[in-house]
Structure 1
Amino acid sequence: MFTSYLPTKIVFGVGAIEKLPNLVKNYGRKALIVTGKKSTKQTGLLDKVRGMLEAVGIETVVFDRVQPNPISDDVDEAARIAIEQNVDFVIGLGGGSAIDSAKAIAISAAMKDAFWNYTHAGAGKKPDRALPIVAIPTTHGTGTEADPFAVITNPRTKEKVGIGYDVIFPKLSIVDPALMASLPKDQTAYTSMDAFYHSLEAFLNIAANPYSDLLAVDSMKRIVSFLMRAYTNGQDIEARTNLAWASTEAGITETLTGVIANHAIEHGLSGFNEKLPHGLGLCITGPYLLEYMFEECKERLAALAKEVFNIQQYSVSKAARLFIEKLYEFQELFDLNQRLSKFGFKEEDLPEIATVAYRIMKGVVVKSPKKLEEKDLVEIMKKAL
């Protein structure tokens, strides 16, 4: 038995951004645009969106201080601005950090309360409302345009916490691959592999189901087929379109099923050191997790060997081993098989990181096919040092 609930209107395709003004007119007359510090300004997208909205009488307020690993302090500051300015809805414009921040701000502004109170690491409150959210992704990785989740870090405790509430499903998501054409090479790789691991982890999740499996496999196949093309030629719009759809599919798999221990480990790591890019962190630890729980997931890995890497006519164990080998080889094409030590992690740091990761993300750790405790997370990270 599984539940499927996706109340988001998704408008997908090249040129979809042009439909924005008519689609948001019913959300109110003033929008808070949440974005990062540079990219949407440099590309002109921020000005374009503001102009489109103002042309149909929607006033805009901009919060442009979102960090790559967004923090609760910024969420609370933006929420205060939203309340003071009496905004009607929130637009997340940019990568996953901008959209996740928009979701968190929408809760804080509607509830008139500090964001951290709505995490299980804080007061554990549950919001009963949020401002309407519009997601406009400029990366093809997080899938946050198609899920009710957001990930925010507390800069004092270094806890990187994921929340999930139906009230923060975007009302509207505009996924326009043309907006992703300016994504740099490294971000092209990092965000695409974030989507890959969303799908891989959903496929291995003990709650996997036929609906999520279908999307997860298709997502991984598209990433393997098109990432190199987008990496070498960012203007390859066919490649960008396939990667954008792979990301949206991966977001839906998160809604249907969810991730497993690899995301818990990475949240612990990048909460401890914000300089570790999320997608890269997943690549560093992911294959070691697969090896660590090999016996419990080898049948599923063997199925992926056939579907994703076209590996045929081997025993289950051999095919599963080949899947991990092919994953390493694929990641190596983009210099993603790095070591945690490169980012300053030391063995003595790992128990504390594992403790925080397990406490904050136990809900996804227990969805892994192998029963894992804190000590297991430490062992996996040790292999990646």
Structure 2
Amino acid sequence: MSFNMYVPTRILFGEGQLSHLHEQNLPGKKALLVISKGKSVRVHGYLERLENELRLAGIEHVVFDKIQSNPLKKDVMAGAAVAREAACDFVVALGGGSVIDSAKAIAIMATNDGDLWDYVGSGTGKKQPIKKQPLPVVAVSTTAGTGSEADAGCVVTNPETNEKLGIKTPQIFPVLCIEDVELMKSVPPAFTAYQGFDALSHSLEGYVSKFANLMSDMYAITAIEHVGRNLARAVKNGNDLEAREHVAFGNILSGTVMCVGTTSSQHSLEHALSAYHENLPHGAGLIMLCRAYFGNIIKHHVCDERFVRMAQAMGMENAEKPEDFLNVLQKLLEDCGVADLKMSDYGIRPEEFDKMADNAMGPMGGLFACDRVHLTKEDCIAIYEKSYK
């Protein structure tokens, strides 16, 4: 039950918190402002509001707007080049998990030589130490999903090698996180569900991981309660700020779960899906896998009481057996309108499952060590097959 806790990010949480950004002790004088290549933050006025906050704080900035829904190495390298050329001394991310992850990776490469993959510690990464301190990162989140705004990791895809891999180091904890639910009202229902299931999955996996501990359990079960009981409300009514606030709170807690505990191989299995199919949102992939993945653990009865407790946290107070968790999970999927997502709609084919299992267990195989139930390659393929539509 031992744990090592270091979560230094200052968090401003709640409705209207973006308006307090200019009052903070910001870590530089010129920011690289990282946003996605889409139009959302501009159309809804979030970029204008953030730029005004930076002006009030006396901060110059340069906008980098090339980030895609799954962060790509080439875009990270391009952003780092802009940061160097403009002599930016910190990075501000405005967006969801992809933007924040990209900003962290850009912060690394703005101060360190070579290629991002030189510093990746798995797969074809060269496992080199990050010698120079990355630029400080300020994260302004517009979604509730990855928890990246307050954790120590980032995940980037290298299409050349079909690897979707992470860098985890205390050097990239954001110095400041703004979690303002007003910025989340514009997220469409489907993506609210995808992002919410990502946040939920971090804690579901963390709670059944063999490295669960007193601290991760506290964060995880609270996150499961807040996301599990409120996500459907946020999906059905994006203007329900109370529901969005509960989901956002669970998201922040789930980010902390990854700092004091671990996730599990479900994330590796999904990363293999979206490494080959960049159009697949990470949360959608997790939704497709979750029933078969957790059903496999339940079948082995390695932590029945934990599944009962998670079912209770998600709203089934009278849960008595681990299978009740699968029932409440199915109900949440149905209530969020995502129970029938199809891999085939994203171009995924069953004949790819063999190479995807190799990918999950190879470059992304570290999380398999966190599982209470050992998965073989055949098990991984079986989970893919049961999840396929």
Equivalent residue number for residue 291 of structure 1 = 295
User: Structure 1 residue 205: deviation in Å?
Assistant: 0.8
Do the aligned residues in 1 keep the contact of 2:228 with 2:313 (CA within 8 Å)? no
| 1:58 paired to 2:64 | no
Higher mean C-alpha displacement, 105-114 vs 16-25: 16-25
Equivalent residue number for residue 273 of structure 1 = 277
2:147 & 2:67 partners in 1: Cα distance? 18
Do the aligned residues in 2 keep the contact of 1:305 with 1:322 (CA within 8 Å)? yes
Do the aligned residues in 2 keep the contact of 1:72 with 1:153 (CA within 8 Å)? yes
Instruction: Give 1:196's aligned amino acid.
Output: L
Equivalent residue number for residue 81 of structure 2 = 80
| 1:232 paired to 2:236 | yes
Q: Deviations over 1:135-158 (max 9, x none)?
A: 111001111112101110002111
Instruction: Give 1:238's aligned amino acid.
Output: E
User: Structure 1 residue 313: deviation in Å?
Assistant: 6.4
Q: Deviations over 1:169-198 (max 9, x none)?
A: 001111111111111111111111111101
Q: Which TM-score applies when normalising by structure 1?
A: 0.95
Instruction: Give 1:347's aligned amino acid.
Output: P
Give the ranges of 4+ consecutive aligned residues of structure 1 lying more than 3 Å apart after TM superposition.
none
Equivalent residue number for residue 160 of structure 2 = 156
The one of 322, 325, 333 equivalent to 2:324 is 322
User: Structure 1 residue 306: deviation in Å?
Assistant: 2.6
Do the aligned residues in 2 keep the contact of 1:190 with 1:278 (CA within 8 Å)? yes
Report the CA distance shift for 1:308/1:232 in structure 2 as closer, same or farther (over 3 A): closer
User: Structure 1 residue 45: deviation in Å?
Assistant: 1.0
1:45 & 1:67 partners in 2: Cα distance? 18
| 1:14 paired to 2:20 | no
Q: Deviations over 1:223-279 (max 9, x none)?
A: 222122222221111111111111001101111112101110000001111121111
Report the CA distance shift for 1:24/1:67 in structure 2 as closer, same or farther (over 3 A): farther
User: Structure 1 residue 326: deviation in Å?
Assistant: 1.6
Do the aligned residues in 1 keep the contact of 2:316 with 2:328 (CA within 8 Å)? no
Q: Which TM-score applies when normalising by structure 2?
A: 0.95
The one of 372, 375, 382 equivalent to 1:379 is 382
Do the aligned residues in 1 keep the contact of 2:3 with 2:215 (CA within 8 Å)? no
Equivalent residue number for residue 300 of structure 1 = 306
2:297 & 2:15 partners in 1: Cα distance? 40
Any gaps of 5 or more consecutive residues in structure 1?
A: none
User: Structure 1 residue 165: deviation in Å?
Assistant: 0.8
Equivalent residue number for residue 109 of structure 2 = 108
1:336 & 1:258 partners in 2: Cα distance? 26
Count of residues in correspondence between the two structures: 380
1:101 & 1:219 partners in 2: Cα distance? 25
Do the aligned residues in 1 keep the contact of 2:231 with 2:336 (CA within 8 Å)? no
2:178 & 2:22 partners in 1: Cα distance? 11
Instruction: Give 1:359's aligned amino acid.
Output: G
The one of 146, 149, 159 equivalent to 2:150 is 146
Do the aligned residues in 1 keep the contact of 2:13 with 2:180 (CA within 8 Å)? yes
1:9 & 1:190 partners in 2: Cα distance? 26
Instruction: Give 1:344's aligned amino acid.
Output: G
Greater share of helix residues, 1 or 2? 1
Instruction: Give 2:237's aligned amino acid.
Output: N
User: Structure 1 residue 339: deviation in Å?
Assistant: 3.0
1:345-384, aligned counterparts within 5 Å? 345-384=348-387
| 1:254 paired to 2:266 | no
Do the aligned residues in 2 keep the contact of 1:138 with 1:180 (CA within 8 Å)? yes
The one of 282, 288, 301 equivalent to 2:286 is 282
Do the aligned residues in 1 keep the contact of 2:236 with 2:336 (CA within 8 Å)? no
1:369 & 1:62 partners in 2: Cα distance? 45
Instruction: Give 1:274's aligned amino acid.
Output: E
Indicate the SS of the match to 2:111. helix
User: Structure 1 residue 24: deviation in Å?
Assistant: 4.0
Do the aligned residues in 2 keep the contact of 1:146 with 1:255 (CA within 8 Å)? no
Q: CA RMSD in A?
A: 1.4
Instruction: Give 1:383's aligned amino acid.
Output: K
| 1:211 paired to 2:211 | no
Do the aligned residues in 1 keep the contact of 2:119 with 2:129 (CA within 8 Å)? yes
Do the aligned residues in 1 keep the contact of 2:33 with 2:94 (CA within 8 Å)? yes
User: Structure 1 residue 284: deviation in Å?
Assistant: 0.8
Any gaps of 5 or more consecutive residues in structure 2?
A: none
